[in-house]
Amino acid sequence: MQKNISQKFSRKTIFITLFAALALIIAVVFFVRPTSSEAAEVPALQTAKVRTGDLVVTASGAGTVLPAAQVDLAFRSSGVVAELNAAIGDSVQNQQVLARLEENIQAEADFQALFTAEGIAQSQLALVAAQDALVTAQNDVIYLIGQTPGIGRDNSKNLKPRKPTKS
């Protein structure tokens, strides 16, 4: 039987097989065994008994909280707020009415604004602009009538000079 085995396998084949098996065993031991750094990376686990209760998680930090946008508000008049349409932290839109004053106070404030120097000046400017628009319209009508055949003679002598506007 010994002869049979030695006939099938030569010494060289047996030596190569044993060397390959030994290399395989060394490789398995080297790569499968955990290294000390891998053992250190394993987190320490903490255990506790199961019980019923509230879970409280807290976080703390230091810093400054800033709003995404900040707008300074200015009001035409003071008074008592009759209606508030927005609360702190609400999102609002452009031109949205946020609060209303009691109507008698708002009406009084609007009425008094007419008699301020600024209100009178605005009214006078509006009057001058309206008079200027009237003269321009009258001149345009006279010009068109004078240019239309069969309507009459040239009315350019009836044109009124424009008043200078105050700016």
pLDDT in tens, 34-64: 666 655 666 778 888 888 888 888 888 898 8
Statement: the pTM of the whole predicted model exceeds 0.75: no
pLDDT > 70? residue 5: no
Kindly list the distances between the CA atom of residue 32 and the CA atoms of 29, 39, 133, in Å, as whole numbers in the listed order: 6, 13, 98
- Mean pLDDT taken over the chain: 79
Does residue 83 lie within any of the structural domains? no
Q: What's the pLDDT score for residue 154?
A: 53
pLDDT > 70? residue 161: no
Question: Which of the pair, 5 or 94, is modelled with greater confidence?
Answer: 94
Does residue 92 lie within any of the structural domains? no
Does residue 89 lie within any of the structural domains? no
**Looking at residue 115, what DSSP letter applies?**
T
Cα of 159 vs its chain's centroid, Å = 57
For the chain, the domain total comes to 2
Does residue 120 lie within any of the structural domains? yes
Does residue 44 lie within any of the structural domains? no
Q: Which of 119, 86, 111, 118 is nearest to 100 (CA)?
A: 86
60/68 Cα distance (integer angstroms): 22
Torsion angle of C-alpha atoms 93, 95, 99, 100, degrees rounded to 10:
-150
Domain encompassing residue 29: 2-38
Q: What's the pLDDT score for residue 134?
A: 94
